[in-house]
């Protein structure tokens, strides 16, 4: 079960959130609540404490209860999913512009890769205000999930869009397990090809794209196993094995592939390895050092030989030029269902970055261009497309 952190801001729709807490707790999830000062004027913290059996967090500088904690950091580390509901125009604007002047907005500055679900609630004119819409668009681009409010009679007696959607609908959104029962094999990170006991050939892959894909799968109820190169990422949320060389990754993928529905191969696998690895450190003698390289097995090409008609295989192509032609050549030669291509010559996306900009090419000739956004949001699109292909194959 998941740890849900609910932030309640100062809107009259705060009265709906206790029911959301009940639904989550009844489903077996853990719930903690944080509130802005204004939210406490609409509903008391005691209500949430009674429901969740947890302290309600309001003042980030309160130290008499847990003196060793820093609430806005500890809460985000604890949470698997974060909900802001109701979310006022004021809080939307603060989050979008990096303002951290209370517990809720300070906490948002700590969030790095965890899913955040924002449910606006406000007067129709406020919601339609260009500044508010610009901030909502900015949040979506940054990877936050911002949902449209309902239409109807509002507390101010006007009619229009601005009502907080019902707790049951929020519950269905945040507890969505559409990937339940689907098994994913995900590769990530670089491989390292030894030269001698202290040197190797590798690349700049950080594994962040594959990590976000694995996280999105887990967040949505899927089963995921990760084959990881040498990365500085906390893989403890997943079942995983770490490898070093392209040969080790090949062996892990080929031996496991038949057990999985979808393979998503984000790993940056070395095309070549050193033919004769020295068992002793190579000393610096001559002006030049010649290394003889031999070709590694192409893992995706080898997978195509054993793939059955109901399995889905997704490749990634890190390119620096002629992106479309290179991607289509790999898609066809390796008999992939889809390939995701990105330009790694750019420093703001790709290797090591927290954002990406990609184009998804499908076997039927279609392509989906995704503008620059968080890798978690890119992961959502990639996994959702792969899942839809799987459903079509198994209908």
User: Active-site positions?
Assistant: 156
Q: Rounded CA gap, 213 and 215, in Å?
A: 5
For tokens 């194959």, name the residue. Answer: 393
Q: What is the DSSP letter of 81?
A: E
How many CA atoms within 13 Å lie on the side-chain side of 69? Answer: 16
Q: Rounded CA gap, 2 and 107, in Å?
A: 19
Token duo for residue 197:
């006991």
31 forms bridges with which residues in the sheet?
A: 4
Rg from Cα positions in the chain? 24
* Three-state DSSP class for residue 94: helix
Of 185, 178, 115, 177, nearest to 143 (Cα)? 115
Ramachandran category for residue 305: left, alpha or beta (phi over 0 → left; psi -120 to 50 → alpha): alpha
Q: Say if CB 303 and CB 337 are below 8 A apart.
A: no
């Amino acid at each position: 079960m998941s740890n849900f952190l609910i932030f309640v801001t100062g809107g009259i729709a705060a009265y709906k959130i206790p029911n959301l807490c009940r639904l989550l707790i009844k489903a077996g999830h853990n719930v903690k609540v944080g509130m802005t000062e204004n939210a406490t004027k609409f509903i008391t913290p005691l209500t949430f404490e009674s429901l969740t059996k947890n302290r309600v967090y309001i003042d980030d500088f309160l130290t008499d209860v847990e003196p060793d904690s820093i609430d806005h950091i500890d809460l985000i580390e604890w949470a698997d999913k974060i909900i802001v509901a109701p979310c006022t125009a004021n809080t939307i604007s603060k989050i979008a512009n990096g303002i951290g002047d209370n517990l809720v907005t300070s906490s948002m500055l700590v969030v790095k890769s965890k899913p955040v679900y924002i449910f606006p609630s406000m007067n129709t004119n406020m919601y339609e205000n260009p500044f508010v819409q610009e901030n909502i668009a900015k949040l979506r681009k940054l990877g936050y999930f911002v949902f449209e409010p309902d239409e109807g009679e509002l507390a101010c007696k006007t009619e229009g869009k601005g009502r907080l959607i019902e707790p049951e609908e929020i519950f269905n959104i945040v507890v969505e397990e559409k990937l339940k029962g689907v098994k994913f094999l995900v590769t990530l990170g670089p491989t390292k090809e030894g030269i001698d006991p202290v040197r190797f050939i590798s690349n700049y892959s950080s594994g962040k794209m594959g990590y976000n894909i694995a996280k999105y799968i887990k967040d949505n109820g899927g089963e995921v196993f990760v084959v990881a190169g040498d990365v500085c990422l906390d893989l403890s949320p997943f079942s995983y094995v770490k490898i070093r060389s392209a040969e080790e990754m090949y062996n892990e993928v080929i031996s496991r592939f038949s057990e999985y529905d979808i393979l998503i191969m984000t790993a940056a696998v070395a095309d070549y390895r050193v033919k004769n690895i020295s068992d002793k450190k190579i000393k610096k003698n001559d002006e030049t050092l010649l290394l003889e390289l031999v070709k590694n097995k192409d893992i995706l090409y080898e997978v195509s030989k054993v793939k059955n008609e109901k399995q889905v295989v997704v490749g990634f192509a890190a390119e620096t030029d002629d992106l479309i032609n290179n991607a289509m050549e790999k898609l066809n030669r390796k008999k992939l269902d889809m390939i995701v291509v990105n330009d790694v010559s750019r420093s703001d996306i790709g290797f090591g970055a927290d954002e990406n900009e990609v184009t998804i090419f499908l076997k039927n000739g279609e392509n989906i261009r995704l503008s620059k956004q968080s890798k978690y949001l890119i992961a959502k699109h990639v996994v959702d497309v792969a899942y839809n292909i799987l459903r079509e194959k198994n209908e």
